[in-house]
Amino acid sequence: MTAHTTAAARAVDLTKTYGTGDTRVVALDSVTVEFAEGEFTAIMGPSGSGKSTLMHCLAGLDSASSGSVHVAGTDLTGLSDKEMTRLRRDRIGFVFQSFNLVPTLTALENITLPLDIAGRRPDREWLDSVLTRLGLLDRLGHRPGEMSGGQQQRVACARALAGRPAVVFADEPTGNLDSRSGSEVLSILRAAVDEFGQTVVIVTHDPRAAAYADRVVFLADGRTVDEMRDPTADSVLDRMKALDAPAGETA
């Protein structure tokens, strides 16, 4: 792995709290983390540890309570709504944990929506290869309500990849997929990094999915608690067990 020094995305001292008083939740507690350009990172951690919140803040979909976020060379803090919308549209691809497809549009219309809005033409060859590899060719005319959860998830991945954005964030992109479709999604994300130098950050609970990444960042209680390079499914599993174990029990 080449040692890149440029960060495609960076959070500095990021804190996000919800609610006040008794119901106050600290979703992110002073998180500082960098994602190098042209690298594939997996974020892991228990349910409620702040993974989705971190991804949303990094992608400019949510604002933090304090701290700063830089994406593709831009400080998100100072952006107007319009500038933020443009940055998200042109530079960032996002796969939501809940897909967020437009119910009235077909699969293909959903996939090309961000490009259509931007007035850009998709790169036909790239789009074809994404659709083929994700097994979507025979579902392009279907609306989300007419597709299975896994198919909708693959449409959401195709949409995030279609415009070849600088950074792709994917929140549990294989959460609803069988292992074969899951492998296709992960290998196409891997290809986005290896063949096009894009930066990919995913959230996953699956050590086998994390093994596709160059690096794993572990979150717990809204903090980064550990990280690992060149993960394998086994090494990730071991680390997860160690992080789960009560202090003093790790040997």
Stretch that binds Mg ion, among 19-27, 47-55, 64-72, 176-184 (CB under 5 A): 47-55
Among 41, 49, 52, 181, binds Mg ion (CB under 5 A): 52
The CA distance from 86 to 99, in Å, is: 21
Give 164 or 205: the residue with its C-beta nearer to ligand ATP.
Answer: 205
Among 48, 67, 122, 135, binds ligand ATP (CB under 6 A): 48
Q: How many other C-beta atoms lie within 10 A of the C-beta of residue 251?
A: 5
- Report how far Cα 25 is from the mean position of its chain's Cα atoms: 23
Output the smallest distance, CB 28 to Mg ion, in A. Answer: 12
Among 47, 178, 249, 251, binds ligand ATP (CB under 6 A): 47
Q: Which among 133, 119, 182, 189 is positioned nearest to 153, based on CA atoms?
A: 182
Maximal C-alpha separation, the chain: 57
Looking at residue 100, its amino acid is N
Ranges within 203-232 binding ligand ATP (CB under 6 A): none
Ranges within 10-39 binding ligand ATP (CB under 6 A): 18-19, 25, 27
CB 215 within 8 A of CB 39: yes
Give me the torsion for CA of 95, 62, 208, 139, rounded to 10°.
Answer: -10
Give 52 or 198: the residue with its C-beta nearer to Mg ion.
Answer: 52
User: Is 53 a residue that touches ligand ATP (CB under 6 A)?
Assistant: yes
Given the rule CB under 6 A, which residues bind ligand ATP?
A: 18-19, 25, 27, 45, 47-53
Given the rule CB under 5 A, which residues bind Mg ion?
A: 52
